[in-house]
Amino acid sequence: MLSYREKDSLIHRLHPAVVVALAASIFILSLVFSHLLYLLGLLLAVGAVIAAAGILAEWGSYLKFSIPLVLLIMLVNGLLVQMGDTVLVAAALPGLGTVKITLEALTYGAGMGLRLLVVISAFALYTHAVHPDKMLGLLGGRGSKSILAATLATRLFPLIIEDFRRITEVQRCRGVRFQEGNWRERVRKWVPVAGVLLTSSLEQSLRLAAAMYVRGYGSGPRSRYHRELFRPRDYLVLLATTGGLAAGIWAALQGWSSYTYYPRLVGFRPEEIKMASVVTLALALPAILSWGWKKWPCLRSKI
Amino acid sequence: MHHINLTIPPGQFVLVVGGSGSGKSSLLRAISRLIPDFYGGAYKGRIYLGGMELRELKHRDLVEQVGLVFQDPESQMITTSVEGEVAFGLENLGLSNHLMKRRVMEATSALRLTGCRHRFIPELSGGEKQKVALASILAMQPEIVLLDEPTSQLDPVAGEDILALLRRLNEENGITVVLIEQRLERCFHLADRVLVMEEGRIVFDHDSPGAIASWAVENGTPFVPPLVKLFAGVGYIQAPVTVKEGREILRRCGQPDLSAVKKVEPASCGKPAVREGNGEQPLVDIEGLWFTYPNGEEALKNINLRINPGDFIVLMGDTGAGKTTLIKTINGLLRPGRGRVKFRGQDIRQLMVEDLASTIGYLSQNPGDYLFLPTVREELAFTLGNLGLPDNGIVDTVLDRLQLTACADANPRDLSTGERQRVALASILVGRPRLLLLDEPTRGLDYELKQVLGEILQELQAEDTAVAVVTHDVEFAAEYAEDVVLMADGAIIARGSKYEMLTGSTFYSPQVNKLFNGIADQVVTLAEGKMVLDEVMNNEK
């Protein structure tokens, strides 16, 4: 099924363009920054917004597979990168000679892992807080055929997944043992599933196309329906997001957002801490607004 | 279609009835120009819309006048939001945003969808989805709305809701409605005019449902509501089409001797009230079963149920009550969260679905899921091969029993709805299961095909095969089942014989029971109704 679910949160009530801008800014900054503090700030900001949107459980399912990946990155980096002065472990491995694991290499791996977490979290925010149709609506107007194709794919893909599950169940109930036999036999068992799935998808597409025909699709130029309004909260969040992005880029230009891991880890400078805090607070503003939104109901009518 | 001559004046509510393949859907598709524009083909003759020949109309002009709602709500949803869906047709008409907003608001209000306007379509119920489909057509403000079995996928309450809305739109807005329906007890009385189709022809056309009922009775056509059949069975020609009319006739017959009538008990009709276990081990024994889906939805709550060999039970309840989940836990497709499901004394957790395939037959909601081989015979042989069973003539026996011998070498995908359904059932029956689990097997079947299916299931029951059917079809349950299990919100609300469960209810009673409510309460089948009606009529004489 589609992952998006409508929730009663301020984040879900923002203009879709604003949430897209926020997720995109976090994504861009995660690529720009290599500094641990900045990346940690981005993770905190996106985590706070995700919590405010009420999609922590969904985020959790992303973290379940990404955290082991982060640990793997740290391990591989620690094993393969032999730079760094602070040696934690050194051992002679057959064929590889002496392999040392340094604090710097592990920290660099952690930094890259953190970047991966931020990227994944930004995508989680986009997937679970932006209505797919509204997003496609933003791109509407010109090239509407491509947009419609994307809308239909959004709509049909979950149905195909559901068909696949159902057809596989039916085959199992007819005694097909998908897990048994050599790989050729297994592949052969999936052929009927693919056949039924293909036929069902074609029938489904045909029914959908007929529904589109009776609703006048292709009868002439289309117009575009839009009801999304910009409210004060959208301007506030957009302003903060733009400010956070600009501050991040400025910090990068100043050289404050990159971090020297090798040969030895260095301490954080005050300007780096200050700018990282500014970027984090600016990008976490929707979460702060959401807190106020819940605490003071009168704020809802104001923003 | 053959020699169709038909004029529909504005504002009429027309009901089209007939068996599978009689040409009803083709007629609607021709009126909406899906034939030949979309499905291809060609037709002779002419179709006029307000004096203008249909073929000469521009596509846009046509869809502004004629709207079509299909059977399956799921496969006509194009977007994922209610508002976007209703606006889709308006965007195709190139309307201004201002006008679209107004039309969306009006259409959603008319169908009581205002609260759903911002909801996500995958989260809507089947009834709500069908209302969205109807709203998206009505927003285009057509003069004619065509509906191809719009309630066949819905539970009785949602179905009644859609039909009541149609009647209201017809009466209050003067919209012409052409409706195809199979469950005639729901809509026969709504129509101003009824068309009966057979083999592509309109064989009867009358503006009085009563007259068409009489004609149907005289000609022995099965496409009449149960009440009509009932009164016709005792030779009453002016058959009623609603329970209200039927009760009026009973009243006119004079005050019946209720004491005599009330003696008609189910047992005297040849059916036991409740089938008791014979003390042997039950086929299925469910104790304290709970099931929760990975998304946290608690679908089954503390289910306790026994199914004995030779039971014929029907699981009923609203959409989302947990009926399908329950039968999937019985055959092992879903594993119990808590509690125990035993099949022939063995815990289902120790068995795989594939191990149970030879003893538990499962027919899903979509028979198309079973059909992928070039011939019907190969479909049956496929199941036998998987289960490692020899043929020993079982394929021919099952084909013969399900009246499929004539199409044994046909491609199952080329067959009619009813035939496909029977092929899917046959592909299960060749394994000689001891328990049959059927999920909505009557969906899309006409009266005749339902009767065939019901009789087959009763024959299997007589051979000691247990049958469990999930259905919304009250009339089918009343006629063929033995016990009814009523579910709501994941729990079993009640289980009892159909004589306990399908009597005295607003939605879960067959028409015949509603007719005799207060006269002879334990009447649910047509045969029983006929006995009581005979007594009432005799009483009058």
Q: What is the pLDDT of residues A61-71, one digit of tens each?
A: 888 888 988 89
Mean per-residue pLDDT of chain B = 87
Strands B338-343 and B284-292: antiparallel
Greater pLDDT, B178 or A226: B178
CB neighbour class for A201 (10 Å; exposed up to 12, middle 13-18, buried from 19): middle
Go through B160-177 and write b for each residue having 16 or more CB atoms within 10 A of its CB, e for each that does not: bbbbebbbebbeeeebbb
What ipTM was predicted for this assembly?
A: 0.83
**Predicted local distance difference test score (pLDDT) of residue A137:** 72
Closest CA of chain A from B459, distance in Å: 22
Give the residue among B309, B304, B303, B305 at the shortest CA–CA distance from B277: B309
Residue B266 has pLDDT above 60, yes or no: no
**Predicted local distance difference test score (pLDDT) of residue B362:** 95
Which amino acid type is present at position B142? P
Strand partners of residue B314: B469, B484
A131 and B120 within 8 Å at the Cβ level: the answer is yes
Q: What is the pLDDT of residues B348-398, one digit of tens each?
A: 988 899 989 989 999 998 888 999 899 999 999 999 999 999 888 999 999
Place of tokens 């002679």: A92
Give the 3-state secondary structure of residue A302.
Answer: helix
Q: What is the pLDDT of residues B181-213, one digit of tens each?
A: 988 888 888 899 999 999 899 999 988 766 777
A200 and B368 within 8 Å at the Cβ level: the answer is yes
**Predicted local distance difference test score (pLDDT) of residue B273:** 36
Compute the residue count for chain A.
303
Query: What CA–CA distance (Å, rounded) separates A157 from A169?
Result: 19
Which two three-digit tokens encode residue B280? Answer: 């042997």
* Closest Cβ opposite residue A221 in set B64, B94, B353: B94
Q: What is the pLDDT of residues A180-215, one digit of tens each?
A: 888 888 888 898 899 888 888 888 888 989 999 999
**Predicted local distance difference test score (pLDDT) of residue B29:** 94
**Predicted local distance difference test score (pLDDT) of residue B179:** 95
Q: What is the pLDDT of residues A124-165, one digit of tens each?
A: 999 888 887 777 777 765 446 777 777 777 777 777 888 899
Query: What CA–CA distance (Å, rounded) separates B141 from A215?
Result: 11
Closest CA of chain A from B63, distance in Å: 6
Residue A248's CB is within 10 A of a number of other CB atoms, namely 29
Q: What is the pLDDT of residues B130-164, one digit of tens each?
A: 899 999 999 999 999 999 988 877 777 788 888 98
Strands B435-439 and B360-363: parallel
**Partners of residue B382 in chain A, C-beta under 8 Å:** 174, 192
A172 and B386 within 8 Å at the Cβ level: the answer is no
A219 and B96 within 8 Å at the Cβ level: the answer is no
Under 8 Å between Cβ of B246 and B517: no
Q: Give residues with Cβ within 8 angstroms of A190, minimum separation 6.
A: A178
Residue spans per domain, chain A: 11-135+234-302, 141-214
A175 and B383 within 8 Å at the Cβ level: the answer is yes
Q: What is the pLDDT of residues A243-274, one digit of tens each?
A: 999 999 999 998 888 888 888 888 888 888 99
Go through B356-393 and write b for each residue having 16 or more CB atoms within 10 A of its CB, e for each that does not: bbbbbbbbbebbbbbbbbeebbbbbbbbbebbeeeeee
* Closest Cβ opposite residue A133 in set B32, B84, B136: B84
Residue A48 has pLDDT above 50, yes or no: yes
**Element (H or E) spanning B355, and its range?**
helix B353-356
Strands B284-292 and B298-307: antiparallel
Measuring CA to CA, how many Å separate B282 from each of B337, B346, B349, B461? 22, 11, 17, 15
B75 and A199 within 8 Å at the Cβ level: the answer is no
Query: What CA–CA distance (Å, rounded) separates B327 from B119?
Result: 30
**Partners of residue B77 in chain A, C-beta under 8 Å:** 155
Residue B399 has pLDDT above 70, yes or no: yes
Share of chain B above pLDDT 90, in %: 49
Share of chain A above pLDDT 90, in %: 37
A223 and B97 within 8 Å at the Cβ level: the answer is yes
Residue B428 has pLDDT above 80, yes or no: yes
Mean per-residue pLDDT of chain A = 87
Domains of chain B: 23-183 (3.40.50.300), 284-510 (3.40.50.300)
**Predicted local distance difference test score (pLDDT) of residue B279:** 59
Closest CA of chain B from A216, distance in Å: 5
* Closest Cβ opposite residue A175 in set B64, B79, B386: B386
pTM above 0.90, yes or no: no
**Predicted local distance difference test score (pLDDT) of residue B268:** 39
Residue B278 has pLDDT above 70, yes or no: no
Q: What is the pLDDT of residues B8-27, one digit of tens each?
A: 999 999 999 988 778 999 99
3-state helix, strand, coil in chain A (%, to 5): 70, 5, 25
To test the contact with chain A by mutation, choose from B78, B85, B90 the residue with the greatest count of A C-beta atoms within 10 A, namely B78
**Predicted local distance difference test score (pLDDT) of residue B271:** 40
Which two three-digit tokens encode residue B323? Answer: 């009926």
Rounded (5°) CA angle B130-B133-B134? 90
* Closest Cβ opposite residue B369 in set A134, A196, A214: A196
B371 and A196 within 8 Å at the Cβ level: the answer is yes
* Closest Cβ opposite residue A215 in set B75, B89, B101: B89
**Predicted local distance difference test score (pLDDT) of residue B276:** 47
